[in-house]
Each structure stands twice: as structure tokens, then as C-alpha cells.
């Protein structure tokens, strides 16, 4: 059963407070193990919802958020590695809009991007197969949104979230 949750200022601030716990866990793990821990989707989805006035969508669909103004189903992806990402989609994933949250962990700033979806299915995930091919085969396509969408199209973030001050700066 799908639940839509309004992300208010209190929830936004709470999730940004939890970010610091994630950052500490990630830092401590990297001291003893070669890899850290991924930035949790609960953080990126709630931040994206608050910044955009989306409703958080839990259960009942493949979307992460719902835009009540447009009726669009929104998929939210993110990375805590500024230079690269490996994003995957379920083969039956359905959405009308894709937003990407890119963390600069050195500066503790999240950058939000609106990723065009028109050509997503045509992106090659290996030398021979596209996202569409993988989805048709019931497989999860994996590719880099940074390398395949942001860089080639010169996309700029539409907003920045300064985590320490809990400030949102929108691009004009």
C-alpha cells in the first residue's frame, strides 16, 4: 500500500542531523576497511522532497517521490562519491522525472540535478546493450549518471543544500 508523506522542515532538519552520523560511520569504517558505507537513500530522498515540495512515496510503486503539482512520479538517485557513481534501476521501474543528489562530502554540500529522462533507455550499459535491452531482459541496468548525463549535457545543479547551516540555495 502506497503512503505519501509530506516532508516538512522538521523532517528535513532531522535527516540533515542524521547525515553527520552517517559521515562519522563512513569515516570510521574507512579506517579499518577499504570501502565506506553508501549514503542512505532516506537522506537523499527526503532532502530532494523538501527542496522540491515533493511528497515522499513509500511502498506501492517504484517511484521515490510524487509531485502533487504535476502528478509526476519521481525517481531519486544519489552518490556520496563526487567524481563517480554507479546508479541502477529496477527493470520495472516507472517514473516521469529523475533527480540526482550529488554529495560533496569534503564541503558537506548536496547538489541537486534534474536529469532529462527522454534518452535514458538509449544509454549503453556495456559495449553492446542499452538500458532498454537490460530492462527488456528483466535485468537491472547500471551506469553512471555523472558520466552519461551530467557531464555530456553540461547539466548544472538547480539547488545546493548546505548541510551545516541547513540552508537551501536555488540557482537563478
pLDDT band of residue 134 (cuts 50, 70, 90) is very high
pLDDT exceeds cutoff 90 at 61: no
pLDDT digits (tens, 9 = 90+) for 117-130: 999 999 999 999 99
Q: Which residues pair with 44 in a beta bridge?
A: none
Q: Are 48 and 110 in contact (CB under 8 A)?
A: no
Residue 14 phi, psi dihedral angles, 5° rounding: -65, -45
pLDDT exceeds cutoff 80 at 57: yes
**DSSP H helical ranges for 33-164:** 41-52, 131-136, 145, 151-153
pLDDT exceeds cutoff 80 at 172: no
The C-alpha atoms of residue 78 and residue 111 are separated, in whole angstroms, by: 10
Q: What is the pTM of this model?
A: 0.95
pLDDT digits (tens, 9 = 90+) for 140-159: 999 999 999 999 999 999 99
Q: Which three cell numbers stand for residue 47?
A: 532532502
Amino acid at each position: 500500500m502506497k503512503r505519501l508523506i509530506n516532508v516538512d522542515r522538521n523532517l528535513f532538519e532531522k535527516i540533515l542531523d542524521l547525515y553527520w552520523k552517517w559521515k562519522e560511520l563512513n569515516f570510521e569504517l574507512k579506517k579499518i576497511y577499504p570501502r565506506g558505507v553508501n549514503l542512505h537513500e532516506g537522506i537523499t530522498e527526503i532532502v530532494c522532497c523538501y527542496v522540491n515540495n515533493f511528497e515522499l512515496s513509500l511502498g506501492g510503486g517504484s517511484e521515490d517521490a510524487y509531485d502533487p503539482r504535476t502528478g509526476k512520479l519521481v525517481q531519486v538517485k544519489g552518490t556520496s562519491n563526487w567524481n563517480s557513481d554507479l546508479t541502477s534501476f529496477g527493470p520495472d521501474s516507472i517514473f516521469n522525472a529523475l533527480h540526482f543528489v550529488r554529495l560533496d562530502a569534503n564541503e558537506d554540500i548536496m547538489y541537486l540535478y534534474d536529469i532529462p529522462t527522454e534518452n535514458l533507455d538509449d544509454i549503453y550499459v556495456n559495449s553492446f546493450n542499452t538500458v532498454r535491452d537490460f530492462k527488456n531482459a528483466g535485468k537491472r541496468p547500471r551506469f553512471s549518471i555523472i558520466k552519461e548525463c551530467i557531464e555530456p549535457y553540461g547539466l548544472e545543479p538547480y539547488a545546493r543544500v548546505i548541510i551545516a547551516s541547513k540552508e537551501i540555495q536555488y540557482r537563478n
